[in-house]
Amino acid sequence: MLAIENLTVSYGTEIAVKNVSLTVSGEVVCLCGRNGSGKSTLLKAVAGIVGIDSGRILLDGRDVVDLPLHRRLEAGIGYVPEDRKLFSEMTVRENVEVARIGAKAAGREVMDVDQFLPELARFYDRKSKLLSGGQQKMVSIARAIVASPQVLLFDELLEGLAQAMCYKICDAVKGLKAEGKDILCAESSLDKASLYADRVIWLEQGKIVAMGTPDEIKSQMMEHIRKMPADRKLPQGEA
């Protein structure tokens, strides 16, 4: 189980995440909110990419705050960034193999990624720079799950993808959940989050303002938006 307790993260004098607490246990939880609401910062803090001001990040009861990025990977936290971070001149197979070698070196159990992403086999020998955005996202997911992490962090999992590719990636996420993985995602679009999330947590200015099922959040956010000052309302369709 992933548990985040009273987490605060700042960049200089700007507080990006303010005293946030949440848990993820054998489910898919999606952080939603406008740009700048703290979604990506929270994921990066859990992954060990950014430091925190205060709070705890617990993986099965163990506080991992003091562990650097590579040690968190070894402990069982996998992270898929929004910009994918692939080796562009390597083939798909080579990109995944680099992650597989790293997992074995760290003593991690290696996962059969084809079980969750069967479409990878169609372009294993293609250089990653020649792939579509959705295909690159698949490779990025494969590299994260090959080490069989307990916790998976996905940043803007479906952003910019065609609908057909969204469904394929959602199927992979649901398959990972069925294996008992704890999955925490960030999505700007509540409609996209609704395709795969069990629970949604809505952030505003680094704070949790609503949480529940996707349908519950849609209802709560409409009420929240109605009460907001006109100059702070979401553009039509963003909720």
Instruction: Output the pTM of the full model.
Output: 0.89
Look at residue 109 in the predicted model and tell me its pLDDT: 83
Q: How far apart are the first and last CA of the chain?
A: 29
| Res. 238: pLDDT tops 60 | no
User: Which residue bears the tokens 């803090």?
Assistant: 45
Q: Please give the average per-residue pLDDT across 14-25, as a whole number.
A: 97
Give the percent of the chain with pLDDT over 70. Answer: 94
Residues 6+ apart with CB under 8 A from 134: 161, 162, 165, 168, 169
- Cα–Cα distances (Å) from 5 to 98, 129, 200, in that order, read 34, 39, 17
pLDDT digits (tens, 9 = 90+) for 112-146: 999 999 989 999 999 999 999 889 999 999 999 99
| Res. 222: pLDDT tops 90 | no
* Contact status, residue 43 vs residue 186, Cβ threshold 8 Å: yes
* Contact status, residue 91 vs residue 125, Cβ threshold 8 Å: yes
Q: What is the residue extent of each domain of the chain?
A: 2-232
| Res. 40: pLDDT tops 90 | yes
Q: Which helix (H) or strand (E) holds 215?
A: helix 214-227
What secondary structure letter does DSSP report for 231?
G
Look at residue 237 in the predicted model and tell me its pLDDT: 46
Class of the CATH domain delimited by 2-232: alpha beta
Cα 152–185–49 angle (5° rounding)? 65
Look at residue 232 in the predicted model and tell me its pLDDT: 57
Q: Please give the average per-residue pLDDT across 192-216, as a whole number.
A: 95
| Res. 181: pLDDT tops 50 | yes
Band the pLDDT of 70: cuts 50, 70, 90.
confident
Residues 6+ apart with CB under 8 A from 2: 23, 24, 25, 46, 57, 58, 59, 151, 182, 184
